[in-house]
Amino acid sequence: MAAFAIAAFAMAGAAEPVRAQGTLRLAMTSSDIPTTTGMPNNGFEGMRFLGYPVFESLVLWDLTTTDRLAPLRPGLAERWEQVAEDPKTWRFHLRRGVTFHDGTPFDADAVIWNLERYFNKESAQFEPPAAGIVRARAPIMTGYRKIDDMTVAITTASPASYFPYMTALILLSSPASFEKAGRDWAKVGTQGSAGTGPFKIASVAPRERVELVRHDGYWDQAKKAKLDKVILQPIPEANARLAALRSGQVDWIEVPPADGIPSLKQAGFAITTGSYPHVWPWFYNIGATNSPFRDVRVRQALNYCVDRDSIVALLNGTAEPAIGWLKASDPDFGKPVNRYRFDPAKGKALLAEAGFTAQKPLSFKVMISTSGSGQMSPLPMNEFMQASLKEACGVEVDFVVTEWQVLLNNMRALPDAPALNGAMSLNISSPSSDPSVMARYFAAAGVPPNGFNFAQWKDDAFEAAFARLAAAVDPKVVAEATAVAHERLVDNPPWLYIVHDLNPRAMSSKVKGFVSPQSWFVDLTLVSMR
């Protein structure tokens, strides 16, 4: 498979004309290009490269610094506020003078049109795949309305101080793109929709490439892109990405194979790493019939059976051990009773208390992907996990191997869904950037299809702490409540926490200006080619 991928990519590269100055060729980990209708699939890698560079949201991220988690900044809304007399309502004041790439105006009507596309099944523009993504990322939205041409109001099911973080994940595209394609989202996908971002889609070749070109009419002249063009290409196999970089067919690869990093450095390629809000776990399927993970002792036991330091070594130091959803150094980590470490004796004792012994070992299936956004090196990492859990604690693990987008879809599956093929766990990397993410993955209200609480986990102490967090506006109260909530995520774990990624990328020395922010996203407007 790897040889075929390299050969196919080489043929595609051979047909490419000589690139102009300022063209960046970038190899993604996905097996296909993200969807180009305005709400890309393929997880946050899709958002990273075919989301924010082309389409924007009312609220954006500041991706220019590395010393702290990426904060929010004004986007297509110049400002917003939580309405004092009705804290379930947020008012967004839109940026004036913005147009989509096709020249049509951005205004309140365009915002409402997009929200109807995601939330109203009866609207002509309803797009089910995009709607599924947005609804899961903003599960607390209950309504929206136009106040005037440049103001919209959005309501939530309950007061939520973190709602602007959810808003940042709702991308907006031109209604005219849908009309131009005969109101056919499939046709929009072949042409690419128009956004408001610093790049616009120039051409789309499914499973091969998407070409983006600089949008010279971008509304923020201070953020105008330096590059003339970005060519995005899906290369899911890690060694194929490595070969493409070495041969000069691409300039930038996501997630270089760990064993190739020393030789890349020696050959003069730049390797960038940096802390960012990311955890690589196994999600427990607590809700499945006869799931062993209904017993908290089993969930805790596996967290003591993982040799995290050896996985970090396997990854050539491009990760760090994870003993919770947040990093242990995070001020909101709290003071949980359990401080997970590699302790097979404790793990086996907990398993024995739950009825699993050498004579009756714990056995289950995990659904994993071959590649994908934030998945690091899923095959060797999961093979190591399989062998290590067997050796350390006698746990027998089998894998259901699938494609990344299929795995993502299954995160919203019901516990006994046939699509899971009996899997009692899913290996899906997760952001840990803000309370809105905590809500989507762990709040009881976020069970599928409303959110990403695949585990069907519910903890009363967590719910109480999170309710306090959601209602608070004082940062001190938010921090205190977050710490209490996180303590429950450790002591009553819905996941097996394995490692935190350090976001490795490999680039040609010709790539200049890249900043590795503490975010899942990047700012391509900063990048240039020498």
Higher pLDDT: 441 or 1? It is 441
Stated pTM of the model? 0.89
Beta bridge partners of 507: 252, 270
Q: Report whether 152 contacts 141 (CB < 8 A).
A: no
Among residues 305, 288, 529, 501, which one has the least CA distance to residue 415?
A: 288
Tell me the pLDDT band of 243, cut-offs 50, 70 and 90: very high
pLDDT value of position 373: 81
Residue type, 430: S
Residue 102 has pLDDT above 80, yes or no: yes
Tokens at 180, concatenated: 């131009």
Tell me the pLDDT band of 16, cut-offs 50, 70 and 90: very low
Overall average pLDDT of the 235-251 stretch: 96
Measure the CA dihedral 192/193/196/198, to 10°: 0
For 440-476, the pLDDT digits (tens) are: 999 999 898 888 999 999 999 999 999 999 999 899 9
Q: Report whether 464 contacts 481 (CB < 8 A).
A: no
pLDDT value of position 510: 96
User: In terms of CATH architecture, what is 1-8+23-51+197-274+503-530?
Assistant: 3-Layer(aba) Sandwich (3.40)
Overall average pLDDT of the 19-25 stretch: 74
Residue 13 has pLDDT above 70, yes or no: no
Residue 18 has pLDDT above 80, yes or no: no
CB neighbours (10 Å) of residue 530?
10
Overall average pLDDT of the 123-144 stretch: 95
Tokens at 515, concatenated: 């900043």
**Homologous superfamily, domain 55-177:** Dipeptide-binding Protein; Domain 1 (3.90.76.10)
Q: Rounded to whole angstroms, what are the CA distances from 389 to 240, 395, 425?
A: 30, 5, 14
Alpha carbon 57 to its chain's center: 16
Measure the CA dihedral 22/191/33/220, to 10°: 50
Residue 2 has pLDDT above 70, yes or no: no
Q: Report whether 110 contacts 174 (CB < 8 A).
A: yes
Residue 490 main-chain phi, psi, to 5 deg = -85, -50
Overall average pLDDT of the 477-503 stretch: 97
For 200-234, the pLDDT digits (tens) are: 999 999 999 999 999 999 999 999 999 999 999 99
Could you say which of 3.10.105.10, 1.20.1290.10, 3.40.190.290, 3.40.50.2000 is the CATH number of the domain covering 278-501? 3.10.105.10
Tell me the pLDDT band of 21, cut-offs 50, 70 and 90: low
CB-based contacts of 447: which residues, under 8 Å, 6+ apart?
Answer: 287, 453, 456
Residue type, 201: I
Tokens at 413, concatenated: 């599956």
Alpha carbon 23 to its chain's center: 26
Helix residue ranges per DSSP H, 120-201: 128-137, 163-167, 175-180, 185-191
- The full length of the chain comes to 530
Overall average pLDDT of the 127-142 stretch: 94
Percent of the chain with pLDDT over 90: 93
Residue 7 has pLDDT above 70, yes or no: no
Q: Rounded to whole angstroms, what are the CA distances from 246 to 23, 32, 174?
A: 17, 22, 39
Residue 374 has pLDDT above 50, yes or no: yes
Overall average pLDDT of the 7-12 stretch: 37
Which residues of the chain form CATH 3.10.105.10? Answer: 278-501
Residue 12 has pLDDT above 70, yes or no: no
For 254-309, the pLDDT digits (tens) are: 999 999 999 999 999 999 999 999 999 999 999 999 999 999 999 999 999 999 99
Which residues of the chain form CATH 3.40.190.10? Answer: 1-8+23-51+197-274+503-530
Tokens at 307, concatenated: 């040799």
Tokens at 470, concatenated: 């959601």
Residue 299 main-chain phi, psi, to 5 deg = -65, -40
pLDDT value of position 6: 34
Tokens at 264, concatenated: 């890349």
Label residues 472-485 b or e (16+ Cβ within 10 Å = b): beeeeebebbbbbb
Tell me the pLDDT band of 372, cut-offs 50, 70 and 90: confident
Residue 20 has pLDDT above 50, yes or no: no
For 318-370, the pLDDT digits (tens) are: 999 999 999 999 999 999 999 999 999 999 999 999 999 999 999 999 999 99
Residue 15 has pLDDT above 50, yes or no: no
CB neighbours (10 Å) of residue 12?
16
